[in-house]
Amino acid sequence: MTTLFDNLTNMGHEQVLFCHDREHNLKAIIAIHNTNLGAAMGATRLLPYANEADALRDVLRLSRGMTYKAACANLPVGGGKAVIIARLEDKTDELLKAYGRF
């Protein structure tokens, strides 16, 4: 049986952070895939994932992709990505500020 940590190890991720701010209804995951060439670059995706496992799978896949995109573009950065689990209509200034503080 493959475990969560097996998936992280197999995909080569350095760090995965989970954020939950109950007051502002924030659930987010930040994945740092690789920083060998420099700080990780990547953006944030906001989607109403069906469940947290789908969000985790997406952020791991996307962050690894950012590492390869940066390498192909010969940029001195690594790859990272974040996802916020929410519907677009739930996006508020308070939610984004809570995310920024994290």
Catalytic residues, by residue number, are: 81
Rounded Cα–Cα distance for residues 11 and 58 (Å) = 12
Q: What residue type is assigned to position 54 of the chain?
A: D
Going 86 to 91 to 94 to 99, the CA torsion angle's sign is: positive
